[in-house]
């Protein structure tokens, strides 16, 4: 993942104020999930120090970058696990 590949969106996104911070966060999340293992948002959050909502947003960013982000239900009640597959 390179900074050139990163695309952040949202009505409140201000590149001058937010890009550097989000790029660092994306790098931490990506480095943790790029192994292709299954993780909950909480697992990723605890490992990277990023809030779960931010982790979820970064996973969406990775989809836009061309990665496959799979989701499966871990248990009843809405807990899901995610894995990132880095596509060539």
Structural domain boundaries of the chain?
A: 40-88
> Count of CB atoms within 10 A of residue 39's CB?
20
Q: Where is 88: in which H helix or E strand?
A: none
Q: Between vectors from CA 75 to CA 30 and to CA 77, what angle results, nearest 5°? A: 105
For the segment 22-46, the average pLDDT, to the nearest whole number, is 96
How much is the pLDDT for 62?
92
Separation CA 86–CA 88 (nearest Å) = 7
Separation CA 65–CA 39 (nearest Å) = 20
pLDDT, mean over the chain = 90
For the segment 53-70, the average pLDDT, to the nearest whole number, is 94
For the segment 29-35, the average pLDDT, to the nearest whole number, is 96
pLDDT over 70 at 1, yes or no: no
pLDDT over 70 at 21, yes or no: yes
* Local structure of 8: helix, strand or coil: coil
How much is the pLDDT for 74?
85
Separation CA 69–CA 11 (nearest Å) = 24
How much is the pLDDT for 54?
95
DSSP 11: T
pLDDT over 80 at 47, yes or no: yes
């Amino acid at each position: 993942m390179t900074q050139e590949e990163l695309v952040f969106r949202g009505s409140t996104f201000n590149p001058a104020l937010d890009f550097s911070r989000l790029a660092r966060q994306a790098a931490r999340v990506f480095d943790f999930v790029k192994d292709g293992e299954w993780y909950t948002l909480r697992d990723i959050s605890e490992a990277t120090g990023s809030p779960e909502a931010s982790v979820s947003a970064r996973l969406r960013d990775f989809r836009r970058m061309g990665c496959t982000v799979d989701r499966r239900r871990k248990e009843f009640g809405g807990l899901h696990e995610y894995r990132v597959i880095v596509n060539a």
